[in-house]
Chain A
Amino acid sequence: MNEALQAAVTGISGRFGAEVQEFRGEVTLVVSPLQINAALQALRGEYQYNFLIDVTTVDYWPAEEPRFHVIYHILDTSLNLVLRLRSPLNGNSPTIPTAEKIWPNANWYEREVWDMFGIRFEGHSDMRRIIMPYEWEGYPLRKDYPLGYEEVQFTFNKEEIMAKKPHPQERT
């Protein structure tokens, strides 16, 4: 592990009790959601992690505890070091504090995570859907979300499916 990266990892894991995982040279810190904001703030302020690359989520359904992992990738642009933070969340409607006040560009990433996984970011300034229509129900990238598959039409079942399909009306 790079020396500067090692310093950040030992500093953060010691202070916030984070578990350190290393896989093929990529370092991950597992931080509890209660301390994720403080850890991100420390990485930005005390170490030179000044760029938030991505905020995303993994759904480990049917596991419930933890069900989701919120993942942050952050970059030190002067030394070109990338660090990953994971934060496990339990249950069906989890919340985690927003990172918007640390990196303003977290705004849209967190809206996307809210849109696709239904994870609420507390303190977020504009918690709306970003990709799906506003009136959409459900969170499409959750593992228990139905794909919405429609049956394929063949000659033997064409009539049956056409009866169920919506048809447009001419407006007068």
Chain B
Amino acid sequence: MGIEQKAGNMGVVTTTLEQVVNWSRTNSMWPMLFGLACCAIEMMSAQASSYDMSRFGMELMRASPRQSDLMIVAGRVSRKMAPVLRQLYDQMPDPKWVVAMGDCAACGGVFNNYAVLQGVDEVVPVDVYVAGCPPRPEALIHGIMTLHEKVKKEHLKTWA
């Protein structure tokens, strides 16, 4: 009734639940705005029309951690900012991922001193590190595509 006329002769696709879920997760991975320094400029550029990160399913940056799946830490994290970063990470719903964008977020970069966290991996678990000072938008997009490859390899038994 009706459904045949609307769907046409498209046949049947079989797949596994794992692949469908991972496919949907990678193609609607909304990043959270976490611009802290000059890397944020490159992150904005990656979102804007020249590079257009939303081609890959990252529709829009969410200002709220409740609506986001991916935290892009763009810039150096000071010791005063670290508890805030951790709190925002804790407020994100599972599943969640973290990309450390740039040298400062990855390892402290040139700021090897008392005031700056020597790598954001001291407070949150990081999935992908993007090198560069700051990384170009292509590098950020490549980092997120790498994360997508990682997410596609996740297994049903490890989700819970």
Question: Which A residues form the contact surface with B (CB < 8 A)?
Answer: 132-133, 140, 145-150, 152-153, 165-168, 170-171
Contact = CB atoms under 8 A, between A and B. Distances in A.
Interface of B: 79-80, 86, 90, 107-108, 112-115, 118-119, 121-125
Contacts of A148: 113-115
B113 A167 contact: no
A146 B79 CA distance: 16
Contact of A171 (B80, B90, B115): B90
B121 A167 contact: yes
A171 B124 CA distance: 11
Contact of B113 (A147, A153, A168, A171): A147
A117 to B, nearest CB: 15
Given A150-B108, A165-B122, A168-B121, A133 B114 contact: no
Quick one: which of B112, B113, B114, B125 has the most chain A CB within 10 A? Answer: B114
Contact of B107 (A132, A145, A153, A168): A153
Nearest to B118: A150
Contacts of B124: 168
Contacts of B118: 150, 165
Quick one: which of A140, A150, A153, A167 has the most chain B CB within 10 A? Answer: A150
B114 A146 contact: yes
Contact of B79 (A133, A145, A147): A133
Given A132-B80, A133-B80, A150-B108, A168 B114 contact: no
B112 A150 contact: yes
Contact of A167 (B80, B90, B115, B122): B122
Contacts of A171: 90
B112 A149 contact: yes
- Across the A-B interface, give the 10 residue pairs with the lowest CB-CB distance, nearest first: A148-B114, A150-B118, A166-B122, A133-B80, A147-B113, A168-B124, A148-B113, A168-B125, A168-B123, A149-B112
Given A148-B115, A166-B123, A168-B86, 18 more contacts: A133-B79, A133-B80, A140-B115, A146-B114, A147-B112, A147-B113, A148-B113, A148-B114, A149-B112, A150-B112, A153-B107, A165-B118, A165-B119, A165-B121, A168-B121, A168-B122, A168-B123, A168-B124
Given A132-B80, A133-B80, A150-B108, A140 B125 contact: no
Contact of A140 (B86, B114, B119): B114
A132 B115 CA distance: 9
B114 A170 contact: no
Contacts of B112: 147, 149-150, 152
